[in-house]
Structure formats: C-alpha cells, structure tokens
C-alpha cells in the first residue's frame, strides 16, 4: 500500500483510509473512528487558491500548536504538569502530557455528525436526553477552525466525512439545535467558508485540497504524528505531541 501511495497509484484519501484500518480504526467504533487531518487554514477568503502554500495548514505540527502562540502554553503545561487546571495525580502514576483531550474521540465524532442519524440520537443520549447548548454545537467551519487556533486545549482533527459526505453539513431532518447566545443566530445548516457555495462545493474543493500537490508533499509529516514514530517517546515530546 505504501509503495502504491508513493507511486501515486492510490489517492491520499485512499491511503489514509487504509492506514486507519491498519491502525485498528473503524466506522463501527466511535472511540476508534477513522481520523483525517485538517488540511487547510484559509476559511475566510472569497476564493480558495490551492496553488498558494499559505492556504494550507502546517502538517508537521499537531493541531494544538499549528498556531505558534499556543506552543508556549503547551510546553509549560508539560513542564509544570503536576498541578495545572484541576488535574489531580496524588500517586504520581500518570505520565506527563501536552494535551488532556484527544484528537479523535467518540464525543468529537458525534459533534461533527450531530445532524445525521444515528449520531443525533447518540449525542442526545450523551447529553442526558437533550441537545447540548447551541454554542457548543458544530455550527460553522470557519468558527471551528478559529476555536482551534485560539484554544490549545481543543485538538480535534477531522473525520473522513469532511471529504465525501455533503449531507452531514445540512440539517435535513430539521432538528431544533437552539440559537447562539451572543448573536441569537439559529443553529441550522453548518456555516461554510466564503469560498464554498454549497455543501457539495465545499466537499469538492476540500477533497481537491487533500489531493493537492502541497498536501501530497507534506502528508507524511502528519502521518508521523498520528500513526508513526512521533506518537511516543522523545520524538513525541519534541514535536509537542504527547496525549493523556
């Protein structure tokens, strides 16, 4: 599979799906759901220029430190690990880490897929019988990216659906997802980047970005972080890539 990918006989999408499968990730387990990278960082331009390297996310860094500003906080957390936030470890049994949450977990999958069943029902069960408050819903792609850039504790990567399934961006079932506190805006279909004219257009351009020359040249850097040698040990510490 690796050789086929290097020879460009299979797409980046197919290679990532196969890597996820080999790593034991599956659509049948929300806790081990396939994980895909954020590949872009431009969610505000009117047009998306895939020939401009500046529109792409730095794939060599974990999502928590793609924004350089967060790197200092993340390093400090690792160093002063014993007492930060309300994390208690009286026995000193827990290894140091940069991030207390994970780039892929069941709640994150339900967060992205809240508009489609069976994920809607699973989300409601998780929230004790009702939808979570609107401000915490997945309501906007630009806002989700901005939250990642502002908050080093939010480290969610993407799921494969972002590259092939436009329906998850639409509230086709007409669920009442509430309204945002500040703007009073009703949460309905997911707000798209300006450069996407419809959910289908978003998926088309996003998939094009995944298969672009830039991502093809740098995808191995992200693979090292998630599936490769930068997951553990000194390489993970150096890459600011140690998870609880």
Q: What is the pLDDT of residues 219-230, one digit of tens each?
A: 999 999 999 999
User: What pTM, to 2 d.p., does this model score?
Assistant: 0.93
CA gap 113, 168 in Å, rounded: 6
Domain ranges (residues) in the chain: 29-239
Interval 179-210: pLDDT, tens: 999 999 999 999 999 999 999 999 999 999 99
Considering the domain 29-239, what is its CATH architecture?
Orthogonal Bundle (1.10)
């Amino acid at each position: 599979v690796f050789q086929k990918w290097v020879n460009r006989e299979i797409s980046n999408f197919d290679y990532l799906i196969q890597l996820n499968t080999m790593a034991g990730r599956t659509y049948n387990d929300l806790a081990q759901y396939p994980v895909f990278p954020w590949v872009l960082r431009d969610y505000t331009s009117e047009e998306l220029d895939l020939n401009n390297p500046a529109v792409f996310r730095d794939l060599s860094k974990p999502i928590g430190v793609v924004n350089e500003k967060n790197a200092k906080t993340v390093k400090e957390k690792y160093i002063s690990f014993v007492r930060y936030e309300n994390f208690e470890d009286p026995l000193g049994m827990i290894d140091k880490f940069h991030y207390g949450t994970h780039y892929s977990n069941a709640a994150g999958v339900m967060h992205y897929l809240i508009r489609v069943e069976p994920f809607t029902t699973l989300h409601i069960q998780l929230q004790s019988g009702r939808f979570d408050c609107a401000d915490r819903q997945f309501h906007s792609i630009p806002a989700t990216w901005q939250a990642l850039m502002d908050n080093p504790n939010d480290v969610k990567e993407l799921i494969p659906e972002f590259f092939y399934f436009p329906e998850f961006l639409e509230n086709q079932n007409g669920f009442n997802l509430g309204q945002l506190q500040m703007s009073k805006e009703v949460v309905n279909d997911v707000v798209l980047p300006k450069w996407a004219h419809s959910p289908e257009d978003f998926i088309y351009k996003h998939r094009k970005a995944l298969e672009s020359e830039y991502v093809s040249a740098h995808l191995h850097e992200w693979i090292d972080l998630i599936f490769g040698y930068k997951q553990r040990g000194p390489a993970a510490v150096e890459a600011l890539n140690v998870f609880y």
